[in-house]
Amino acid sequence: MIRRLQDADVAGKRVLVRVDFNVPMQDGQVSDDTRLRSALPTIEHLREAGAKVILAAHFGRPKGQRNLDMSLAPVATALDALIDGVDVKFVSDCVGEDAEQAVSRLAAGGVLLLENTRFHAGEEKNDPEFAAELAKLADLYVNDAFSAAHRAHASTEGVARLIPAYAGLALQREIDHVTAALENPSRPLLAVVGGAKVSTKIDLLKNLVTKVDRLFVGGAMANTFLAAKGHDVGASLHEVDLLDTAREIMDIAAKSNSEILLPVDGVVTKEFKANAERRVVNVDEIGADEMMLDCGPKTVDRLADAIATARTLVWNGPLGAFEITPFDTATVEAARFAADRAKNHGLTAVAGGGDTVAALNHAGAATDFTFISTAGGAFLEWLEGKALPGIEALKSDEA
């Protein structure tokens, strides 16, 4: 059980909050403040309780070197515009004398953003001395960055071992939704997994088939499963060296009473380009010089039937080459159908990882899903059943 921020007495305390401010930038300014807004509930909770709020984050990959192109100074400006009643302070380091003095000047209810933690090599190395320097700044630690929780870094794991540590409100929301979807779901539980390669999702698929009632495999990775079942997939992208792995996953599913659903038809073409000449064929009719770039209408209908009978849906990855028309059709139609079931028929629909957010936004379906994680790698590792260092560090000793 994780320790939650609501259980902490933070009045008058210095609270170090690990946030995800690795935001898109354009011309030196934040171009999308979604991640800043996601941190606001935790920041406001702390401010209202009289805490001194010290924010820590990384930006980009400076590899332990000070690189002003990756400074968080512009982020402080953008955050300041989102918070009424306080001037967000910024300090040009995250440890050391300047940081300590900036913290000492902070009033109750004040907000300070530290400079990029990755300007120090000790961050990604989870160096104990660097973690101790961070811990010196605060009385309590709060992790509100699920997207970084799969990394055992100083600001995500090391410091949490040194001072009392709690989960922030955004982190709690992520954990609660994903846990509810996988560990204690309303059944039937359906997982939809798409993307290009089985090789990137072996652990994910092996874990899911032990938990879900049905697993739909789409995208190019479906070609590997089809080939493993003896279908000739022509020139379609597939991984010949992973046919045995695909068969192993299907065996695990059979032993777990989990049904794997694969495409029964597809949209094939000889050219990977938008609006290429194409045709719809059954999966045993793909020509030697053709590649399947999207699921066909019969497959979409089959998936829609599975979604309609499910009570919980976990979605990761697109069903075809959604970046180019018209090979986005299956992803768009299935996503919109799932969104309608979530909005109007009680389906719990949780999605995240990789291209998933972009695909669901492209379909105009994202806002009606129950929850969409933007955490990327952390979301995938959670679905894989792996322990996340940043989460483990927040667990209490109670059973």
Please report where in the chains the tokens 């994910």 appear, as a residue.
204
Cβ atoms 54, 16 nearer than 8 A: yes
- Told to judge if 247 belongs to the known catalytic residues of this protein, a careful annotator would answer no
Give residue-wise pLDDT tens across range 59-106.
999 999 999 999 999 999 999 999 998 999 999 999 999 999 999 999
Residue 186, SS3?
Answer: coil
Does position 399 have pLDDT exceeding 70, yes or no? no
Q: Extract long-range pairs of 344-348: CB within 8 Å, 24+ residues apart.
A: 346/311, 347/307, 347/310, 347/311, 347/312, 347/313, 348/180, 348/181, 348/185, 348/186, 348/311, 348/312, 348/313
Say which CATH superfamily domain 175-383 falls into: Phosphoglycerate kinase, N-terminal domain (3.40.50.1260)
Q: pLDDT digit string (tens) for 213-269?
A: 999 999 999 999 999 999 999 999 999 999 999 999 999 999 999 999 999 999 999
| CATH of region 5-166 | 3.40.50.1260
Q: Is 47 a catalytic residue?
A: no
**Domain boundaries defined on the chain:** 5-166, 175-383
Domains 5-166 and 175-383 share a fold: yes
Beta bridge partners of 314: 191, 350
**Considering 377, 385, 386, 395, which one is annotated as catalytic?**
377
Active-site residue (options: 3, 35, 89, 341): 35
Contacts of 122 (CB under 8 A, 6+ apart): 64, 129, 130, 131, 154
End-to-end CA separation in angstroms for the chain: 7
Question: How many alpha carbons lie under 13 Å from residue 357 in its C-beta half-sphere?
Answer: 13
So what's the pLDDT on residue 232? Answer: 97
Per-residue pLDDT band at 125 (split at 50, 70, 90):
very high
Query: Does 397 have pLDDT greater than 70?
Result: no
Q: Is 354 a catalytic residue?
A: yes
- Mean of the pLDDT values across residues 370-397? 88
Tell me which of 4, 66, 136, 197 is the catalytic residue: 197
Catalytic residue, chosen from 168, 354, 376, 390, is 354
Q: Say if residue 41 is exposed, middle or buried (CB neighbours under 10 Å; 0-12, 13-18, 19+).
A: middle
151 among known catalytic residues: no
pTM exceeding the 0.85 threshold for the entire prediction: yes
- What would the pLDDT profile of 265-290 be if each residue is shown by its tens digit? 999 999 999 999 999 999 999 999 99
